[in-house]
Amino acid sequence: MLSEQKKIPESKIAELFISTVQKIWQQKENSSGELKIHFDSSKKQFVAYQVYQIVEQVHNPSKEITPKDKLFQNKQVQIQDNCLLLPVNLKEIINYREVLPSFRKTLQKYYQTEQYQTFLPWQGKVVEGIIQEIHPDYCLVDLFGQAKIGY
């Protein structure tokens, strides 16, 4: 829905959401390891894995995972590129009330960048528009629909 509403590709919204969640995860004190997330577009859902590096020797025995560990009882555990990928439920490890404000900011920043790119070709040209609001440091001008490039 957000993709249609904001006219932003679904893949871009998923990418922005994933980067927001990963930033928040990295900032958490109790986060252990890397969090890998991807968006399954066919099922319209995010799939998350906690990533554990596979090493020959562990310097801290309390962090050692053996084949007898409970983690391996989960049938969806995967080994990829010398890493153990343990499926996790995002709802259990991330508080969405914490994620949403950051995601909104990320989305707004992306939207502003897109808007800037839209107007970049007009840089240095005189255009006509309708003044919408006047502020001490700037004014808002409606250029869409009415915009004409002046020469």
The answer to whether residue 146 scores a pLDDT higher than 50 is no
The answer to whether residue 148 scores a pLDDT higher than 60 is no
Share of the chain above pLDDT 90, in %: 10
Residue-range domain boundaries for the chain:
2-122
What is the secondary structure of 91-112 as a DSSP string? HHHS-HHHHHHHHHHHHHHHHH
- pLDDT tens track for 44-60: 888 888 887 777 777 77
Q: Is the pTM of this model over 0.75?
A: no
- pLDDT tens track for 56-89: 777 777 666 666 666 666 667 777 777 778 888 8
Instruction: Domain 2-122: give its CATH code.
Output: 3.30.1480
Residues 6+ apart with CB under 8 A from 93: 25, 35, 48
